[in-house]
Structure 1
Amino acid sequence: MANPRDVEECERLLGVSASEEKSIPIAVRAIEEKVTWKNLPHKRQLLLLALCRLSTPLSNACLIPYLYYLVKSILSDPDHPSAPQKISRLTGLLVAAYPLGQMSTSMLWGRVSDTYGRKPAILIGLFISVVANLAFGFSRTIGMLLFWRVLAGMANGILGVMRTMTAEIVKERKYQTRAFLAPPLIFNSGRVAALAIGGCLADPVDNLPALFGPSGIFNFSGNPKGVAWTLSYPYALPALFNGVVLSVCLMLAALWLKESLPTKEKDRDLGIIIGKTISGFIRNKILRKPGLEYTAVQIEEAEILMADVPIAQASGSSTPTDNISRSYRPAFREIWTKRLLKTLFAFLLLPLHNSTFLHIFPVFLSMPTTENKHPTIFHFTGGLGLASPTVGLYLATFGICGILLQLFLYPRIQKYIGTIGAFRFANSIFPFAYIYAPYLSLLSGNMVEKWPAMAVILFLQVMARTMAFPSTVILLTEAAPSKSVLGTVHGAGNTLSALASAVGPVLGGILLAKGIDMGVVGLVWWSWMSAVAFIALGWSFVVSGKEHNAAEGCME
């Protein structure tokens, strides 16, 4: 039997009493009971928004498999005994440059989007991202590489705007768990492709000799060493791929992505007008399906209307407090409630250790192996000596694993233990991955055992972050004092996330180099990543999720 206090809490959160709930139409209650990917509203808009999210994995993840070799190719003396330490420090700077750029503009993008609209901010950011990616591939000095990485990060400060847009597109709370999972699914798919393509397209004369080698298909000039421009710019091909894909995403967003800011969504949009013209031409002249446009528009409008109608209104009662909360916009000082500040700190801790892992682990896999003749439990060093295509494909394989976990595992876990429960469970997994990861170097010479050992470490980390990231986004959205300041809240979250993503790799690179000098390659894993992961686990019990989980329980 239900606890009377639980029933009262549900009534308070939903604004509907038990007697009123009985008057809700059976069809409406049936819809409330079941939330699936199929009945998720506004899927086309979510897909377009998710495609815009590709700018982050393509800009940030594509270079991970070959970053070690890119920096090594620029050094004047790459074979010097101190080269691995120098490479680890420089790779840390290059990885950190991107989130530093994000941090510098995230709040600005949030405030601009709250004033001028979400779509203009996203389009401008995508355009700058295209330019920065193309220029990065043709840079051959550390200074220029850092500059274009910072600019790409500044362009991708729009991540908070995209998260805000997701919340505005899907207004009903019961759909938001899956709605917030949709962009990360495309994000992770893009990350998988970026890792695989970045590893395989880097240094194409060596990695793709059939296409770019001395007798390759694209060696039109007959250069005896291979395609000339790939010899001068061996890491430009992944950047060209990024630029082309992001240009397509920019075009699709300009033509079909709709504005979601309430004060701007009714404004005239030239891109949408052109997009509708193109859609109508394709539908009527090519697909020969006239007369469908009116029906599609009406269905979409009905979905919008249904999403805006609270449950209590469906039964004939009104909820004036909901209308007040929608129209009220708190002052800037009033935004930073105690609950929001706690959630923002949790939002900071997660990328602090995760970004370090994403930088250190591929470098660790690429580092040359070392023969540890007399290793102790802490004193051993060396990497695994894997080539960039192997690193990229291996990381991409587990990226696919992350997509499957997001599709099938996270929604079920979140349903049974709630968002805050899933967040705490995820934080309890990270320390295990970080504590055991450095011991992989002791298996570098074992061709059988090292692969399953690597798989276990990667699986733990991927599973944890798959559950942690959507949970933090949902918790941050719920912690916002008003929907009218979601852009500012997510801008603040993205700023802190970018700060953490910059600090983590820099400190990680320094500690990795220090550990190599000391003969303790696990130094960065144990003194930094594990320590931050344990702090994040403890803080997850400070973050409040009661209101959110209670409401979700009522709706289910």
Structure 2
Amino acid sequence: MTQNVVERGVASPSSHISGLTPSADEEWETPQPLQAATEKIANEVRWRDLPNKDQLFILALCRLSEPLSNVCLLPYIFFLVRSVLPKSDDNTSSDDSAARISEYSGLLVAAFPLAQCVISLPWGRLSDKHGRRFSIIGGLLVSVIANIGFGLSKTFEALLFWRILAGLANGNVSIMRTVTAEVVRERKYQTKAFLLLPLVFNSGMVLSLALGGCLAEPVVNLPVLFGPEGIFNWSRNPEGVQWTLEYPYALPALLNAFLLGTSLILAVLGLKETLLGKEENVDCGLQAGTAVRRLAIRIWNRGSASHKYTMMRDSDEVALLNDSGPSHEKTEPSVTLAKPTKVPFRGIWTRKVTSALVSFGLLPLHNSAFMHIFPVYLSSPPADNSEATFFAFSGGLGLRSATIGLWLSAFGIGGILLQLFIYPRLQKRIGTRGVFRIALFLFPVTYVAAPYLSLLAGDHGARWVFLGFVVCAQIMARTMAIPSTVILLTEAAPAKTVLGTVHGAGNMLASLARAIGPAVGGYVFALGVEEGVVGLVWWLYLVGVAVCALVWSYLTDGRS
């Protein structure tokens, strides 16, 4: 009998460490006082308590690859596409021009996630067999090259090629989510750990939108640096810095390449392998990283010797290098994990996984379309709506790329704060699914209201207040929905050994949705502009998909 009790005591913590909900035959009862104490400790987990913070930090920097590569062009995409498309006849109206640009920009936006869709599942399967480190580093390297090529392109075909290559490089996003689950194994830390990558994604979007909006056309947007009298205009060209005149949209992409190059170096030197059975694998990059850390510690100790600090011994130095978690973890008893069971490929796709995957795919189907349509809509020239009806009106706001980038970035900061301070409390109070449904209710309301900005022509306060409402509501909904779908998908996986495949499938489906969303949304937007109903894409497409996602969350409630 003692043996049975011990076996049950070992089996249950392992299921909690894996981050997955235990099956019925693995459940065990915990004494009520102990359970209450455990829940209290879990509720008091702080960001600084997360284990393996060095690995999470490097992983967070690597996660910047997708928003920097994908989102940076949105504030200036209208002007970028207009600059590379062949000039149309002078008789073409501004509405026809906006519709044409919308169609081409939709293709450009859709190319990135479509490439992700094609490569995501192979990336996931490859990482499950051969490890996570190589795929993340390889993806970063190709992302750096793709950003440089995109910035220096002058034709639509070249832009499309580099967008596709960047999408192929970023098909490993699902692997980063898998690494998070493998780095943070204890369930009590996982709510905050799974918030980290969406938090970095939102931060990357804020940074990327601001950089894209302000650095595009630097002669116009940053005349102090690149204008006729600019600091960097060493040749004193009367029109501004020559290379920025030839490549007016290169600067955001080149800065992206520099930032991702920094992440690449840190990943080569410090990102460890987390695939079960290969955790101890060390290559020349990790050896170089260890040497750099030892050198840094010795230099630091020499500098602190003047303050009469004791020089560390070699044994202390090695211990410090091997210590990757909070001090309180040392007192926790180790748990011996059972040998992981292999799940056949067909056995992965349970009803619970399938339901979570559909929710995971429906979100970007409308969210990505919004991210493409909204900047194009804001950039489109205003129209005369003096004879407009409640549904029939047209025109945009005519804002410049810098204004669009700063607006979206400013409210993106609000999304980051929401993710840091509000989401964990909401998730603890009403659960992951409850937070997800709040977001699903917010999306349709936002999409219904957005096109009425066209009726608020002119530079007056009401337009900016209404614009702030639309942007804030959408970002708030997105901020709550993204981490919720990741957590629900992770919990749906039948075993930890197939997390890479499950997240690879999720990323493939989400990437396909991010390709379809902008393409279909761009087409419907162009159709609405031609027919004089700019709200057509908002009311017909975006609201329709958002309502389907809301209904699906209730239909599958009993399954998951």
TM-score, normalising length: structure 1 = 0.90
- What residue in structure 2 maps to residue 85 of structure 1? 99
Query: Could you tell me how far apart the structure 2 residues matched to 1:323 and 1:484 are?
Result: 12
Residues 210, 514 of structure 1: CA spacing in aligned structure 2 closer, same or farther, 3 A cutoff?
same
Q: 2:320 aligns with which of 272, 296, 299?
A: 296
Equivalent positions of 1:281-430 (< 5 A) are: 281-286=295-300, 288=302, 290-291=311-312, 293-297=317-321, 299-300=323-324, 323=338, 327-430=340-443
What is the DSSP-based 3-state SS (H/G/I as helix, E as strand, rest coil) of the residue aligned with 1:449?
A: helix
- What residue in structure 1 maps to residue 488 of structure 2? 475
- What residue in structure 1 maps to residue 29 of structure 2? 17
Q: 2:258 aligns with which of 232, 235, 244?
A: 244
Equivalent positions of 1:8-87 (< 5 A) are: 15-19=27-31, 31-77=41-87, 80-81=92-93, 82-87=96-101
Q: 1:140 aligns with which of 154, 162, 165?
A: 154
Residues 447, 41 of structure 1: CA spacing in aligned structure 2 closer, same or farther, 3 A cutoff?
same
What is the DSSP-based 3-state SS (H/G/I as helix, E as strand, rest coil) of the residue aligned with 1:99?
A: helix
Amino acid of the structure 2 residue aligned with 1:98: F
What is the DSSP-based 3-state SS (H/G/I as helix, E as strand, rest coil) of the residue aligned with 2:554?
A: coil
Query: Could you tell me how far apart the structure 2 residues matched to 1:474 and 1:71 are?
Result: 37
- Report how far residue 397 of structure 1 moved: 0.2
> Structure 1 stretch 300-309 or stretch 135-144: which is displaced more?
300-309
- What residue in structure 1 maps to residue 226 of structure 2? 212
Cα deviation digits, residues 283-330 of structure 1 (max 9, x gap): 2114536536344345437889879968xx6xxxx8xxx725xx1111
Query: Could you tell me how far apart the structure 2 residues matched to 1:444 and 1:430 are?
Result: 24
- What residue in structure 1 maps to residue 4 of structure 2? none
- Residue 47 of structure 1 contacts residue 183 of structure 1 at CA under 8 Å; is this kept in 2? no
Query: Could you tell me how far apart the structure 2 residues matched to 1:407 and 1:379 are?
Result: 41
- Report how far residue 268 of structure 1 moved: 2.0
TM-score, normalising length: structure 2 = 0.89
Residues 425, 546 of structure 1: CA spacing in aligned structure 2 closer, same or farther, 3 A cutoff?
farther
What is the DSSP-based 3-state SS (H/G/I as helix, E as strand, rest coil) of the residue aligned with 1:300?
A: coil
- Residue 42 of structure 2 contacts residue 189 of structure 2 at CA under 8 Å; is this kept in 1? no
Residues 332, 309 of structure 1: CA spacing in aligned structure 2 closer, same or farther, 3 A cutoff?
farther
Query: Could you tell me how far apart the structure 2 residues matched to 1:31 and 1:298 are?
Result: 26
- Report how far residue 263 of structure 1 moved: 1.9
- Report how far residue 156 of structure 1 moved: 0.3
What is the DSSP-based 3-state SS (H/G/I as helix, E as strand, rest coil) of the residue aligned with 2:48?
A: coil
- Residue 349 of structure 1 contacts residue 536 of structure 1 at CA under 8 Å; is this kept in 2? yes
Question: Which structure 1 residue ranges, 5 or more long, are not aligned?
Answer: 1-8, 548-556
What is the DSSP-based 3-state SS (H/G/I as helix, E as strand, rest coil) of the residue aligned with 2:338?
A: helix
Query: Could you tell me how far apart the structure 2 residues matched to 1:442 and 1:387 are?
Result: 19
Residues 33, 177 of structure 1: CA spacing in aligned structure 2 closer, same or farther, 3 A cutoff?
closer
Query: Could you tell me how far apart the structure 2 residues matched to 1:136 and 1:33 are?
Result: 46
Query: Could you tell me how far apart the structure 2 residues matched to 1:211 and 1:421 are?
Result: 49
Does residue 234 of the first structure (1) align with residue 248 of the second (2)? yes
- What residue in structure 1 maps to residue 112 of structure 2? 98
- Residue 53 of structure 2 contacts residue 324 of structure 2 at CA under 8 Å; is this kept in 1? no
Query: Could you tell me how far apart the structure 1 residues matched to 2:363 and 2:394 are?
Result: 27
Q: What is the percent sequence identity of the aligned residues?
A: 52
Does residue 505 of the first structure (1) align with residue 518 of the second (2)? yes
- Report how far residue 544 of structure 1 moved: 4.3
Cα deviation digits, residues 401-423 of structure 1 (max 9, x gap): 11000001110110011111111
What is the DSSP-based 3-state SS (H/G/I as helix, E as strand, rest coil) of the residue aligned with 1:157?
A: coil
Cα deviation digits, residues 353-372 of structure 1 (max 9, x gap): 00000000111111101110
- Residue 76 of structure 2 contacts residue 216 of structure 2 at CA under 8 Å; is this kept in 1? yes
Query: Could you tell me how far apart the structure 1 residues matched to 2:510 and 2:271 are?
Result: 26
Query: Could you tell me how far apart the structure 2 residues matched to 1:493 and 1:10 are?
Result: 21
Amino acid of the structure 1 residue aligned with 2:47: W
Amino acid of the structure 2 residue aligned with 1:354: N
Amino acid of the structure 2 residue aligned with 1:323: A
- Residue 51 of structure 2 contacts residue 326 of structure 2 at CA under 8 Å; is this kept in 1? no
RMSD of aligned residue pairs (Cα, Å) = 2.4
Cα deviation digits, residues 132-174 of structure 1 (max 9, x gap): 0000011111111111001100100010000111111111122
Query: Could you tell me how far apart the structure 2 residues matched to 1:226 and 1:380 are?
Result: 40
Query: Could you tell me how far apart the structure 1 residues matched to 2:264 and 2:227 are?
Result: 33
Amino acid of the structure 2 residue aligned with 1:412: R
What is the DSSP-based 3-state SS (H/G/I as helix, E as strand, rest coil) of the residue aligned with 2:49?
A: coil
Residues 64, 111 of structure 1: CA spacing in aligned structure 2 closer, same or farther, 3 A cutoff?
same
Equivalent positions of 1:143-162 (< 5 A) are: 143-162=157-176
- What residue in structure 2 maps to residue 269 of structure 1? 283
Residues 220, 350 of structure 1: CA spacing in aligned structure 2 closer, same or farther, 3 A cutoff?
same
- Residue 342 of structure 1 contacts residue 542 of structure 1 at CA under 8 Å; is this kept in 2? no
- Residue 201 of structure 1 contacts residue 238 of structure 1 at CA under 8 Å; is this kept in 2? yes
Q: 1:451 aligns with which of 452, 461, 464?
A: 464
What is the DSSP-based 3-state SS (H/G/I as helix, E as strand, rest coil) of the residue aligned with 1:66?
A: helix
Residues 338, 224 of structure 1: CA spacing in aligned structure 2 closer, same or farther, 3 A cutoff?
same
Does residue 440 of the first structure (1) align with residue 464 of the second (2)? no
- Residue 351 of structure 2 contacts residue 559 of structure 2 at CA under 8 Å; is this kept in 1? no
- Report how far residue 33 of structure 1 moved: 4.7
Amino acid of the structure 2 residue aligned with 1:443: L
- Report how far residue 229 of structure 1 moved: 1.2
Query: Could you tell me how far apart the structure 1 residues matched to 2:52 and 2:328 are?
Result: 8
Residues 185, 287 of structure 1: CA spacing in aligned structure 2 closer, same or farther, 3 A cutoff?
farther
Query: Could you tell me how far apart the structure 1 residues matched to 2:56 and 2:558 are?
Result: 25
- Report how far residue 482 of structure 1 moved: 0.7
Query: Could you tell me how far apart the structure 2 residues matched to 1:398 and 1:31 are?
Result: 33
- Report how far residue 215 of structure 1 moved: 2.1
Query: Could you tell me how far apart the structure 2 residues matched to 1:307 and 1:402 are?
Result: 37
Cα deviation digits, residues 527-556 of structure 1 (max 9, x gap): 000000000001111334887xxxxxxxxx
- What residue in structure 2 maps to residue 5 of structure 1? none
- Residue 351 of structure 1 contacts residue 501 of structure 1 at CA under 8 Å; is this kept in 2? yes
Residues 25, 69 of structure 1: CA spacing in aligned structure 2 closer, same or farther, 3 A cutoff?
closer
Residues 264, 521 of structure 1: CA spacing in aligned structure 2 closer, same or farther, 3 A cutoff?
same
- Report how far residue 32 of structure 1 moved: 3.8
- What residue in structure 1 maps to residue 236 of structure 2? 222
Query: Could you tell me how far apart the structure 1 residues matched to 2:485 and 2:415 are?
Result: 17
Amino acid of the structure 1 residue aligned with 2:114: L
Equivalent positions of 1:120-139 (< 5 A) are: 120-139=134-153
